[in-house]
Amino acid sequence: MQDVVYVGENLKWLRARKYMTQRQLAAKAGVSPDTIAKLETNRTEPRYTTLFRLADALDCTPDDITGYGREG
């Protein structure tokens, strides 16, 4: 069984670090602004392809977004 992956806090922090709005990130990643809002409030989980698009747009790794490998 897969674990639920909540990325909201990490995604919001990574986006803010790049001084991007939700709309700017959405445009750069090729997703809707609604998708970004839902991800940041943990109302949905990212699809595999979306996760990689977001990582590319934010110049980070998918692990940075998911928090995978982080202690705690």
Give CA–CA dist 26/23, Å, rounded: 5
Q: What is the pLDDT of residue 3?
A: 67
Angle between helices 8-17 and 33-40 (to 10 degrees): 120
Structural domains for the chain: 8-60 (1.10.260.40)
**Structure confidence by residue, pLDDT tens digits, 42-55:** 999 999 999 999 99
- For 20-35, the pLDDT digits (tens) are 999 999 999 999 999 9
Gyration radius of the chain's alpha carbons = 11
Whole-angstrom CA distances from 29 to 20, 23, 52, 62, 72 are 12, 10, 9, 13, 29
